């Protein structure tokens, strides 16, 4: 019997002659680093209550953006 199936090919992961770019690992700040920066933001706001979640998110974003 003759096998008439189409051979399966896989697409190359890179193009010939193209150098792959190494991935830079994401910077993950520690809980303590985020806590410290969030407290600094709290103090900068004049110790106003009601912004703890916003301070935390802002602190985390700032620390992740650092290189």
Q: Give, in degrees to the nearest 5, the angle at Cα 43 between 41 and 47.
A: 115
Quick check: 29 and 64 in contact, CB under 8 A?
yes
Q: Which tokens is 26 given?
A: 């994401």
What are the pLDDT digits (tens) for 6-43?
Answer: 656 665 555 566 666 666 666 799 999 999 999 999 99
Radius of gyration of the CA atoms of the chain, in A: 25
Predicted TM-score (pTM) of the model is 0.60
Q: Which one, of 63, 30, 65, lies nearest residue 55 by Cα? A: 63
Q: Where are the domains of the chain?
A: 31-65
DSSP class of residue 47 equals S
DSSP class of residue 27 equals P
pLDDT of residue 62 exceeding 80, the answer is: yes
């Amino acid at each position: 019997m003759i096998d008439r199936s189409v051979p399966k090919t896989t697409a190359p992961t890179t193009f010939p002659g193209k150098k792959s770019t190494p991935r830079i690992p994401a910077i993950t700040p520690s809980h303590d680093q985020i806590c410290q920066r969030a407290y600094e933001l709290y103090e900068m706001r004049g110790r106003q209550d009601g912004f703890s979640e916003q301070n935390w998110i802002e602190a985390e974003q700032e620390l992740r953006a650092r290189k």
